[in-house]
Amino acid sequence: AQSVTQLDSQVPVFEEAPVELRCNYSSSVSVYLFWYVQYPNQGLQLLLKYLSGSTLVKGINGFEAEFNKSQTSFHLRKPSVHISDTAEYFCAVRPFSGYALNFGKGTSLLVTP
């Protein structure tokens, strides 16, 4: 079984400031790691994924994440946020041999001027 913990339910930040959204996971099998974003009244959009290889993964909209196997973490970062980044962010894992995603509870990012 797998579980995902997003340590912060809400993260307020000023525009142009850096941000880090934290994600830790536990799993008895090898997993793939994902970050999804959900804007109000919309479905989920993939920001980035870690499958293998380099532990620093770059995604869309200037986001990046670093996989840390020893700490079982996959934190999401952006050096300078925009108002338009205000959304719900979900970390998710999927076993190598499985289909479905297991989501964390989500982090609400609120960017203000």
Site residues (CB under 8 A) for another protein, limited to 68-97 = 90, 96
Report in angstroms how near the CB of residue 26 gets to another protein at its nearest.
16
Which of 42, 38, 21 is CA-nearest to residue 86?
38
**Among 74, 78, 104, 111, which residue interacts with another protein (rule: CB under 8 A)?**
104
Q: What's the CA gap between 62 and 52, in Å, rounded? A: 20
Residues of this chain, 11-40, that bind another protein according to CB under 8 A: 34, 36
Rounded CA-CA distance 85/89 in Å is 10
Candidate list 3, 42, 55, 80; residue touching another protein; CB under 8 A: 42
Nearest CA to 72 among 9, 109, 28?
28
Binding residues vs another protein (CB under 8 A): 34, 36, 41-46, 49, 90, 96, 99-101, 103-106, 108
